[in-house]
Amino acid sequence: MTTLQRPRRIWLTGATSGIGLALAERLLADGHRVALSARNVDKLNALAASSDNALVVPLDVVDHSAVRAAGQRLEAQLGGLDMAILNAGTCEYLDARCFDVDLVERVFAPNFFGALYAMQAALPLLRRARDHDGIRPLLAATSSASAYVPLPRAEAYGASKAALSYFLESLRLDLDGEGIDVSVIHPGFVKTPLTDRNDFPMPMRISTEQAAAAIIKGLDRRQLDIHFPRRFTNLVRLMGILPPRLRRRLGLRMVQANGHSSGGDA
């Protein structure tokens, strides 16, 4: 089983559920110093209870001031960050017949702007680690395979993840000269509390443990695009480069086959 090559100082958001929980358990077990962030303080404390290498940093990523305060606490207690894994997010599906901008804003708040707030807090700490250790730090964030191709009812969720992927891929170019690497994580369907609420088929759905293993392997290799399970995500990526008419035809088939469908994952 792949592990990160040396002990790291890592900040993980969305650490108490789904993929984030599986990542937290693996990283702590591997001996890394992990700052765990999520909204639920009780769950954070339970997760950290048996690990003296865990640092509990409760926050809601949509609260900009709380994220700034978390960055200050990380600086005081860790000095710097070798890696930031921004995993917090949510999923809601849009019914176009009852167009709801409030829903779109609720989804974008954690999935996009919350990630940006965390990036703003993390980047100075990643630069500190680079300057102190001379090793390239890594910024990573969880997007979604739905960012590759438009899917029914995924207007809010898919757009928030596509925005995040674009932002990170652009940021990667600007951070390269600073010696900071950027990985974008694009999961397919993963069995989590969020996907358990889905009311449509989820082909090739994998466990959170499988997802965490794929992410850690990709982070260790500094992959630009960490996507899994590959049998599924390669098909979705292929759909994304098809001509618009053909993409539309395939999307309409999903609607007809399932009554409705979507692309939520983590």
Q: Which tens digit of pLDDT belongs to each residue from 38-50?
A: 999 999 999 999 9
Residue 257 has what pLDDT? 63
Local confidence band at 28 (pLDDT 50, 70, 90 cut-offs): very high
pLDDT of residue 244: 87
Mean pLDDT of 142-148: 95
Q: Give the pLDDT of residue 234.
A: 92
pLDDT value for 256: 65
- Kindly report, residue by residue over 192-250, the tens digit of the pLDDT: 787 778 777 777 788 999 999 999 999 999 999 999 999 989 988 988 888 888 888 88
Q: Does the structure show a pLDDT above 70 at 167?
A: yes
In the residue annotation, 157 being an active-site residue is answered as: yes
Residue 157 host element (H or E) = helix 155-176
Position 263 pLDDT exceeds 50: no
Q: Which of 82-91, 140-149, 213-222, 233-242 has the lowest mean pLDDT?
A: 233-242
Fold of 9-258: Rossmann fold (3.40.50)
Share of the chain above pLDDT 90, in %: 73
Where do the domains of the chain lie?
9-258
Paired residues of 1 in beta bridges: none
Looking at the DSSP bridge assignments, the partners of residue 78 are: none
Q: Which of 93, 117, 148, 157 is labelled catalytic?
A: 157
Radius of gyration from C-alpha coordinates of the chain? 18
Query: Which DSSP string corresponds to 50-109?
Result: T-TTEEE----TT-HHHHHHHHHHHHHHHSS-SEEEE---------GGG--HHHHHHHHI
> CA 136 to CA 51: how far, in whole Å?
27
Q: Burial letters for 181-207: b for 16+ Cβ neighbours within 10 Å, e otherwise? A: bbbbbbbbbbbbebbeebebebeebbe
pLDDT at 259: 56
Q: 242: which 2 tokens?
A: 């098809």
Is the model more confident about 140 or about 250? Answer: 140
Specify the DSSP element, H or E, that contains 138: strand 138-142
219 exposure class (CB count in 10 Å sphere: 0-12, 13-18, 19+):
buried
Residues composing the chain: 266
* Lowest mean per-residue pLDDT among 31-40, 146-155, 166-175: 146-155
Residue 121: pLDDT over 70: yes
Percent of the chain with pLDDT over 70: 93
| C-beta atoms surrounding 103 within 10 Å | 17
Global pTM reads: 0.90
